[in-house]
A and B are shown apart, each in its own frame.
Chain A
Amino acid sequence: MSQLPPTRRQVLRWGLLGAAGAATSGALAGCGLGSSDDIRFLQNKPEVIPYFDKLTAQFNSSQRGVRASHDPTTTPLTPQFVRGTPPDLACYNYQLEAASFLARGALSDLSDLPEAKTIAPSVQALVGQFASYKGQTSVLPYSVASAGVIYNKELFAKHDVAVPTTWSELISACKKFQAAGVTPIYFTFLDGWTLLQGIWDYVSGGTLDVAAFFKRLKDEEGKVDKNSPASFSRNFGDACHKMVQLYRYRNANAPSLNYNAGNTEFAKGKAAMYLQGPWALTPLAAANPKLQLGSFALPCTDDRADTKVRVNLDLALWIPNDSSRKEQARTMLQWLMRPEVMNAYNKQALATSPTVNAPPLADPRVAGLSSYVQQARFYQGASTYISMTIPLGNYIQTMLTSGDVPGLLNRLDTDWANRAARSAAA
Chain B
Amino acid sequence: MATIPTPAPRARSSAATGERRSWKLTTVLAIASLAVFIPLYLAVTMALKTNAEASSGSGFALPTSLHWSNFSTAWDLVHFPRAAAVSVVIAVVAVVGSLAVSSMASYAIVRNWHRKAFRYSYFYLLAAMFIPFPVIALPQVKLTALLGLANPIGVGLLHVLLSMGFNILLYTAFLRSIPFELEESARLDGASTWQTFRQLIVPLLGPMNATVGIFAFLASWNDYMMPAIITADAQYQSLPVVQNIFAVSLTTNYNVAFASYLMAMLPTLVVYFLAQRWVLSGVTQGAIK
Contacts and interface: CB of A to CB of B under 8 A. Distances in A.
Contacts of B86: 28
Contacts of A82: 141-142, 145
A389 interface: no
Given A7-B194, A79-B141, A261 B235 contact: no
Contacts, number: 65
A32 B194 contact: no
A3 B235 contact: no
Interface in B136-167: 141-142, 145-146, 150-153
Contacts of B85: 24, 28
Given A32-B235, A82-B141, A1 B150 contact: no
A83 interface: yes
Contact of A1 (B89, B153, B195): B195
A28 B85 CA distance: 8
Contacts of A7: 194
Contacts of A85: 145, 232
A6 B195 contact: yes
Interface residues of A, number: 27
B233 A260 contact: no
Interface in B172-223: 190-195, 198
B89 A6 contact: no
Interface string B225-251: 000010011111000000000001101
A75 B234 contact: yes
B44 interface: no
A21 B93 contact: yes
A180 interface: no
25 contacts: A1-B191, A3-B193, A6-B195, A21-B93, A24-B85, A24-B89, A24-B153, A25-B152, A28-B82, A28-B151, A28-B236, A32-B235, A33-B235, A73-B234, A73-B235, A74-B234, A79-B141, A82-B141, A82-B145, A83-B150, A84-B145, A84-B146, A85-B145, A85-B232, A258-B251
A31 interface: yes
A261 B190 contact: no
A111 interface: no
B96 interface: yes
Contacts of A46: 249
Contact of A260 (B193, B195, B198, B252): B252
A34 B120 CA distance: 50
Given A6-B194, A25-B153, A28-B152, A17 B89 contact: no
B113 to A, nearest CB: 22
